[in-house]
């Protein structure tokens, strides 16, 4: 996603933002969901996007920066089209999440925290995704892929590649 | 029985004690002389409770509690030295040191580092950590502040300071877990008038003043408890010098004036002490006068004068102004007026800190010693007297950092006096063509009392900078003049002159240097029964 010079929420997003404000005791408290809106509006949360949110909410940009970098689940600048977040907490670790990470690394040629050259995939190791009963789990953008075998991982990558191809990316 | 329900009875290390309700365990323990270690806690900031070093054992909790946020309650039993408490502290210390580099020998904080002190007192003597330490950024956060991320223990004191006291919010903690470190938003550096305080409150060497970096080891410096001369607020400061050179200024706690803080204008505003244009010797008609001959030359000029006027500045101490008054009185028919050389703007901060628009540290004091119309009516009278040429000799004082060209109307008027004597900190236009130029002490070099904008008298002490060691201060020269005039047998200390002032002036009566002490006192609050005792100095 390219960054245009004038970032702004669409009317619809702005309406949603104002509705959010009415549901929180302070403006600052609405930061997390507002960042979600910004994410879907702008595709990623880079420096200009964080600045826009800070100005919109009238809070220091450093506060936004701290919050965005604290959580793993926001799409920070430079993240590929598909963000593969492999849960590596206890249940998943016992059920082989380490092998899942190795498999992704092998197939895509990227390490943890890296983005593939084609710009499609970013691999992250994250803490508990709250789906221990179906370990091991990969969260790809907003979707969970559960109970993965290594073959499932291959299939997932293949499916995502095809999807991207169809979308004309 | 407690006399009211505002008092709480609790037990501290086996002793039953009483404190006001609502106090935290840490505050209350301090009242009874028990110091509990702290990193993230700062009395001027909100409670974060993230460093955990202040954990103590409580009878109300199966696990140790943090004493900075837990409040005292009736029947609470707290142990600060039990095995549980000591164990907790030792473990926290071990965690704090996991990623902390052992770079004390090159760290500017060493010697005044809270982590160093607590490590010595509570920490392990070796590390069990065999893994690689985390590496975090070392960079500039702003024009005056650098960060050594590896040293940061993420106590967030600096972040809270920028949120709560300066209200500018430039700092944040980025990332999480052991990667977390203090940072600024890209392109928004920390750049506010109070930024320097973040370095003072950093309990480790993570935030470093780029001004003081690598300048001195803190234990080698001499400290002088003084008052900042940057504005009429009169923030209490510690002036730290190494071999006669000021290295840094740090704020000195005074809850009635500046709390724990000072502004960067004052903090970095001492370089004029070592300006190239600084005067270090007296000159009579272009000829150098020896330090011992200064008062003689002054006396010679004044004794042949038919009418003398004094133009004082509001950087002079009350003692110096008092001497000017008695000299003017004994000369007979001489006038005194004051001028206000500096201008500035007021700055207010959400934390309650104020930088005054009035940049003169002793304007109030000068008005008390020499009259409320010193800078108004008297100044106008002197202006007209100078322009009709009715002043034979003018004695002008140019303190502060020289104020080249700030005199406005005065710049032209002073040359209309028959003879001109100038006490000046720096070579400037007023010294040109003067009959006698006498070097003057600048703020931080003066010994005496200033009265701030709230009518609070505070002692400013000389840091004995190398420059001011080259010449006698105005306080000495003016008294030597009095000796020549047979008004005085020998020069006294500033305390002695202040006693004369307090006897002569209603505003200062009852006060003395010793009663003012380190933190000063409102002029209206007279110390009890000091007058009959006397003998203070």
So where are chain B's domains? Answer: 7-96, 281-448+455-493
Q: Give the chain B residue whose CA is nearest to the CA of A48.
A: B186
- CATH architecture entry for B281-448+455-493: 3-Layer(aba) Sandwich (3.40)
CB B21 within 8 A of CB B61: no
Give the tens place of pLDDT for each residue, A32-79: 999 999 999 998 899 999 999 999 999 999 999 999 999 988 888 888
User: What residues does each domain of chain A span?
Assistant: 11-70, 82-166
- The residues that bridge with B7 in the sheet, in sequence order, are B20
CB B392 within 8 A of CB B305: yes
DSSP B162: I
Q: What is the pLDDT of residue B373?
A: 94
Q: Which of A49, A62, A65 to mutate to test the interface with B (most CBs of B within 10 A)?
A: A62
CB B157 within 8 A of CB B40: yes
DSSP B187: T
Q: Chain A residues with CB-CB distance to B under 8 A?
A: 47, 50-51, 54, 59-66, 69-71
Cβ–Cβ of A47/B187 closer than 8 Å? yes
Q: Chain B residues with CB-CB distance to A under 8 A?
A: 163, 168-176, 180, 183-188
* Minimum-distance CB partner of B176 among A50, A51, A70: A70
Cβ–Cβ of B170/A60 closer than 8 Å? yes
CATH hierarchy code of domain A82-166: 3.40.30.10
How far is B530 from B520, CA to CA, in rounded Å?
Answer: 15
How far is B355 from B346, CA to CA, in rounded Å?
Answer: 6
* Minimum-distance CB partner of A69 among B169, B175, B188: B175
How far is A32 from B414, CA to CA, in rounded Å?
Answer: 66
Annotate B396-439 with DSSP letters as a single string. EEE-TT--TTTTTHHHHHGGGSSEEEEEESB--TTTTT-SEEEE
How far is B233 from B266, CA to CA, in rounded Å?
Answer: 11
Burial classification of residue A5, based on how many CB atoms lie within 10 Å of its CB (0-12 exposed, 13-18 middle, 19 or more buried)? exposed
| Chain A environment of B188 (Cβ under 8 Å) | 60-62
Residuewise pLDDT in 10s, chain B (537 residues) = 445 568 999 999 999 999 999 999 999 999 999 999 999 999 999 999 999 999 999 999 999 999 999 999 999 999 999 999 999 999 999 999 999 999 999 999 999 999 999 999 998 888 899 999 999 999 999 999 999 999 999 999 999 999 999 999 999 999 988 889 999 999 999 999 999 999 999 999 999 999 999 999 999 999 999 999 999 999 999 999 999 899 999 999 999 999 999 999 999 999 999 999 999 999 999 899 999 999 999 999 999 999 999 999 999 999 999 999 999 999 987 899 999 988 889 999 999 999 999 999 999 999 999 999 999 999 999 999 999 999 999 999 998 877 766 778 898 899 999 999 999 999 988 999 999 999 999 999 999 999 999 999 999 999 988 888 889 999 999 999 999 999 999 999 999 999 999 999 999 999 999 999 999 999 999 987 544 444 444
- CATH architecture entry for A11-70: Orthogonal Bundle (1.10)
Percentage above 90 pLDDT, chain A: 80
Q: How many helices (H) and strands (E) does chain A have?
A: 7, 4
CATH of region B7-96, choose from 3.40.50.10490, 3.40.50.2000, 3.10.20.740, 3.40.50.300:
3.10.20.740
Q: B496 or A3: whose pLDDT is higher?
A: B496
| pLDDT surpasses 70 at A1 | no
Cβ–Cβ of A62/B187 closer than 8 Å? no
Average pLDDT over residues A110-116: 92
Cβ–Cβ of A65/B171 closer than 8 Å? no
Cβ–Cβ of B172/A47 closer than 8 Å? no
ipTM: 0.85
How far is A74 from B284, CA to CA, in rounded Å?
Answer: 75
Q: Give the chain A residue whose CA is nearest to the CA of B186.
A: A47
Q: Which of A60, A76, A125 to mutate to test the interface with B (most CBs of B within 10 A)?
A: A60
Token representation of residue B371: 């009259």
| pLDDT surpasses 50 at A169 | no
- The residues that bridge with B450 in the sheet, in sequence order, are B458
Q: Comparing C-alpha atoms, which of B488, B469, B428 is closest to residue B291?
A: B469
Cβ–Cβ of B169/A64 closer than 8 Å? no
Cβ–Cβ of A70/B175 closer than 8 Å? yes
How far is B191 from B106, CA to CA, in rounded Å?
Answer: 26
| Chain A environment of B145 (Cβ under 8 Å) | none
| Chain B environment of A47 (Cβ under 8 Å) | 185-187
Cβ–Cβ of B185/A50 closer than 8 Å? yes
């Amino acid at each position: 996603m390219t960054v245009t010079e004038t970032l702004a929420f669409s009317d619809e997003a702005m309406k949603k933002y104002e509705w959010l404000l009415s549901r929180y005791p302070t403006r600052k408290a609405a930061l997390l969901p507002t960042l979600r809106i910004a994410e879907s509006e702008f595709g990623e949360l880079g420096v200009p996007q964080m600045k826009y949110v800070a100005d919109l909410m009238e809070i220091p940009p450093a506060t936004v920066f701290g919050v965005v970098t604290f959580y793993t689940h926001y799409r920070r600048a430079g993240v590929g089209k598909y963000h593969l977040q492999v849960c590596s907490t206890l249940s998943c670790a016992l059920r082989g999440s380490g092998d899942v990470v190795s498999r992704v690394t092998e197939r895509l040629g990227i390490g943890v925290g890296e983005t593939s050259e084609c710009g499609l995939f970013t691999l992250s190791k994250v803490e508990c995704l709250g789906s221990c009963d179906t370990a091991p789990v990969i969260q790809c953008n907003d979707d969970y892929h559960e109970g993965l075998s290594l073959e499932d991982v291959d299939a997932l990558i293949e499916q995502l590649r095809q999807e991207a191809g169809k979308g004309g990316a | 029985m407690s006399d009211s329900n505002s008092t709480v009875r609790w037990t501290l290390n086996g002793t039953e004690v009483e404190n006001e309700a609502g106090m935290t365990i840490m505050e209350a323990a301090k009242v009874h002389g028990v110091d509990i270690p702290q990193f993230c806690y700062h009395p001027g900031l909100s409670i974060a409770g993230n460093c955990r070093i202040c954990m103590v054992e409580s009878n109300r909790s199966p696990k140790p509690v943090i004493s900075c946020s837990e409040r005292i309650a009736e029947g609470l039993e707290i142990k600060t030295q039990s095995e549980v408490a000591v164990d907790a502290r030792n473990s926290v210390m071990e965690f704090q040191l996991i990623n902390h580099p052992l770079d004390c020998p090159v760290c500017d904080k060493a010697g005044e580092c809270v982590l160093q002190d607590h490590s010595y007192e509570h920490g392990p003597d070796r590390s069990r950590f065999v893994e690689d330490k985390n590496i975090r950024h070392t960079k500039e956060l702003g024009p005056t502040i650098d960060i050594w991320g590896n040293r940061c223990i993420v106590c967030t004191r600096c972040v809270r300071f920028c949120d709560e006291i300066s209200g500018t919010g430039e700092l944040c903690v980025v990332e999480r877990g052991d990667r977390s470190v203090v940072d600024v938003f890209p392109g928004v550096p920390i750049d506010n008038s109070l930024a320097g305080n973040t370095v003072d409150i950093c309990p480790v060497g993570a935030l470093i003043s780029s001004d003081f970096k690598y300048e001195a080891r803190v234990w080698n410096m001499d400290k002088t408890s003084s008052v900042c001369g940057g504005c009429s607020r009169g923030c209490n400061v510690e002036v730290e010098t190494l071999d006669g050179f000021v290295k840094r200024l740090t704020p000195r706690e005074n809850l009635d004036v500046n709390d724990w803080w000072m502004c960067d204008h004052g903090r970095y505003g001492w370089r004029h002490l070592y300006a190239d244009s600084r005067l270090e010797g007296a000159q009579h008609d272009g000829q150098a006068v020896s330090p011992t001959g200064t008062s003689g030359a002054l006396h010679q000029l004044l004794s042949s004068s038919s009418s003398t006027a004094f133009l004082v500045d509001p950087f002079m101490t009350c003692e110096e102004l008092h001497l000017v008054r008695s000299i003017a009185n004994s000369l007979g028919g001489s006038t005194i007026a004051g001028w206000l050389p500096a201008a500035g703007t007021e700055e207010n901060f959400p934390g309650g800190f104020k930088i005054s628009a009035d940049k003169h540290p002793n304007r109030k004091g000068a008005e008390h010693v020499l009259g409320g119309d010193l800078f108004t009516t008297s100044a106008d009278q002197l202006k007209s007297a100078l322009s009709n040429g009715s002043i034979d000799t003018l004695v002008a004082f140019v303190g502060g950092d020289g104020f080249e060209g700030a005199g406005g109307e005065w710049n032209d008027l002073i040359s209309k006096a028959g003879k001109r004597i100038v006490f000046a900190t720096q070579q400037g236009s007023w010294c040109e063509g003067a009959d006698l130029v006498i070097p003057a002490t600048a703020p931080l070099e003066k010994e005496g009392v200033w009265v701030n904008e709230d009518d609070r008298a505070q002692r400013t002490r000389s840091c004995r900078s190398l420059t001011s060691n080259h010449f006698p201060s105005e306080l000495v020269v003016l008294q030597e003049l009095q000796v020549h005039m047979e008004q005085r047998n020998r020069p006294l200390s500033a305390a002695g002159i202040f006693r004369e002032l307090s006897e002569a002036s209603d505003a200062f009566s009852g006060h003395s240097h010793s009663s003012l002490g380190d933190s000063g006192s409102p002029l209206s609050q007279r110390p009890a029964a000091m007058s009959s005792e006397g003998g203070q100095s």
